[in-house]
């Protein structure tokens, strides 16, 4: 049966050696007699002995080498290019630094068991500002991604979403569009709010109206984009251009358009946000605002690692610039 209590002592006794020797063969110290090595290994096999990693860490004086990645569990988050890119970046960063990656999928209510994690990365924050607060208060090194945190002394790495939204709006107006609509992201997220704000600002600068009916509150999902598109297309005075706050949504808008015989970009211009590679393979290359998700996430790991090791003591706060990627989904209005 299973004995959970086989310890190094049992092995030592049964093999007639000291625990030190057992430890040596465990750690492959080369100065051990071959015969003994064999004997010990045999016993280890017989007893199915597995060294206790916790004890090893303690004895070795190993600092905590795990980073927790806290990701809000709201429906759909995982389906987004956004979350996925972050995960890839974080995975990559951890791999490079040989850190363990611990996942916390949270709805923001649970107190967040830090457990092994010596540092925390929050993928955006929605309902879980209190968790960030608690972590900071406890002195756990942490960093928030894609959220410019003003009221808390915590590190963050964020994309300038206001600028991004502004770029999108500006590009559309520069093409000559006057009737420009937008599908917002989840307005619970700062990114959603900021992209909308930047977009509005761009229109304002050109003194272009953006009536209520031209602003549809989405949530980054294809589903909401479909509703939005159907709404826009049914308007008496439909827009000639649409800014979708994510590529997924932009792609869905294009789908709906084509289903209705509306040509992109001839009849309607569509610009997205993300630079999701999926935008390359549709019927028409998607013009979009690129944000360095992968890089940002990888960088986040590096920063938290420095925070953990004490190499960096101050909060680091960095805002990155998005880029306009011009492909084929936007053109001058035909009218």
Partner DNA sequence: CTGAAAGCGCTAACAA
Partner DNA sequence: TTGTTAGCGCTTTCAG
Supply the minimum distance, in Å, between the C-beta of residue 100 and DNA.
18
Supply the minimum distance, in Å, between the C-beta of residue 321 and a second copy.
25
Q: Which does 211 bind (CB under 5 to 8 A by kind): a second copy, DNA, none?
A: none
Rg of the chain's alpha carbons, rounded to an integer?
27
Q: Which of 35, 150, 281, 335 binds a second copy (CB under 8 A)?
A: 281
Q: Which of 16, 38, 42, 100 binds a second copy (CB under 8 A)?
A: 100
Q: From residue 165 to residue 204, what is the string marking binding to a second copy with x (rule CB under 8 A)? A: ----------------------------------------
CA 201 to chain centre: 27
Return d(Cα 209, Cα 244) in angstroms, integer: 18
Cβ contact 113:270 at 8 Å: no
Supply the minimum distance, in Å, between the C-beta of residue 210 and a second copy.
27
Binding to a second copy (CB under 8 A): which residues in 129-148?
138-140
For residue 278, state whether it binds a second copy (rule: CB under 8 A): yes
Cβ contact 164:322 at 8 Å: yes
Q: Which does 220 bind (CB under 5 to 8 A by kind): a second copy, DNA, none?
A: none
Q: Which does 230 bind (CB under 5 to 8 A by kind): a second copy, DNA, none?
A: none
Q: Which does 66 bind (CB under 5 to 8 A by kind): a second copy, DNA, none?
A: a second copy
Where along the sequence are the contacts to DNA (CB under 7 A)?
A: 5, 7-9, 16-21, 23-24, 26-27, 31-33, 35-36, 49-52, 55-56, 58-61
Supply the minimum distance, in Å, between the C-beta of residue 302 and a second copy.
17
Cβ contact 220:249 at 8 Å: yes
For residue 321, state whether it binds a second copy (rule: CB under 8 A): no
Q: What is the 3-state secondary structure (H, E, C) of the chain?
A: CCCCCCCHHHHHHHHCCCHHHHHHHHCCCCCCCHHHHHHHHHHHHHHCCCCCHHHHHHHHCCCCCEEEEEEECCCCHHHCHHHHHHHHHHHHHHHHHCCEEEEEEECCCCCCCCCCCCEEEEECCCCCHHHHHHHHHHCCCEEEECCCCCCCCCEEEEECHHHHHHHHHHHHHHCCCCCEEEEECCCCCHHHHHHHHHHHHHHHHCCCCCCHHHEEECCCCHHHHHHHHHHHHCCCCCCCEEEECCHHHHHHHHHHHHHCCCCCCCCCEEEEEECCCHHHHCCCCCEEEECCHHHHHHHHHHHHHHHHHCCCCCCCEEEECCEEECCCCCCCCCC
Q: Which does 113 bind (CB under 5 to 8 A by kind): DNA, a second copy, none?
A: a second copy
Stretch that binds a second copy, among 34-42, 197-205, 234-242, 279-287 (CB under 8 A): 279-287
Q: Which of 9, 29, 58, 319 binds a second copy (CB under 8 A)?
A: 58
Size of site (CB under 8 A) for a second copy: 56
Supply the minimum distance, in Å, between the C-beta of residue 38 and a second copy.
17
By the criterion CB under 8 A, which residues form the site for a second copy? Answer: 1-2, 4, 48, 50, 52-55, 57-58, 62-66, 69, 73, 78-79, 81, 84, 87-88, 91-92, 94-95, 98, 100-105, 110, 113-116, 138-140, 222-223, 226, 255-256, 258-259, 278, 281-283, 310, 313
């Amino acid at each position: 049966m299973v004995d959970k209590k086989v310890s190094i002592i049992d092995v030592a006794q049964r093999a007639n050696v000291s625990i030190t020797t057992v430890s040596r063969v465990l750690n492959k110290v080369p100065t051990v007699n071959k015969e003994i090595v064999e004997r010990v290994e045999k016993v280890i096999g017989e007893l199915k002995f597995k060294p206790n990693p916790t004890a090893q860490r303690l004895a070795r004086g190993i600092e905590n080498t795990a980073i927790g990645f806290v990701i809000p569990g709201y429906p759909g988050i995982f389906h987004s290019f956004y979350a996925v890119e972050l995960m890839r970046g974080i995975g990559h960063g951890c791999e490079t630094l040989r850190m363990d990656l611990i996942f916390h999928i949270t709805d923001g209510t649970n107190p967040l068991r830090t457990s092994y994690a010596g540092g925390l990365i929050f993928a955006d924050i929605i309902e879980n500002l209190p968790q960030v607060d608690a972590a900071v208060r406890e002195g756990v090194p942490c960093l928030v991604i894609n959220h410019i945190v003003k009221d808390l002394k915590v590190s963050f790495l964020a994309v300038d979403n206001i600028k991004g939204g502004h770029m999108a709006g500006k590009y559309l107006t520069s093409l000559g569009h006057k009737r420009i609509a937008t599908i917002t992201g989840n307005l619970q997220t700062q990114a959603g709010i900021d992209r909308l704000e930047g977009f509005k600002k761009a229109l304002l600068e050109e003194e272009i109206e953006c009536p209520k009916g031209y602003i549809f509150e989405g949530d980054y999902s294809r589903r909401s984009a479909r509703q939005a598109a159907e709404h826009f297309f049914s308007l008496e005075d439909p827009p000639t251009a649409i800014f979708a706050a994510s590529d997924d949504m932009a792609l869905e808008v294009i789908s709906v358009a084509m289903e209705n015989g509306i040509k992109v970009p001839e009849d309607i211009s569509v610009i997205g946000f993300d630079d999701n590679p999926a935008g390359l393979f549709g019927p028409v290359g998607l013009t979009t605002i690129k944000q360095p998700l992968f890089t940002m996430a990888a960088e986040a790991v590096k920063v938290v690692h420095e925070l953990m090791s004490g190499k960096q003591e101050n909060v680091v706060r960095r805002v990155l610039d998005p880029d306009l990627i011009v492909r084929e989904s936007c053109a001058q209005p035909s009218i």
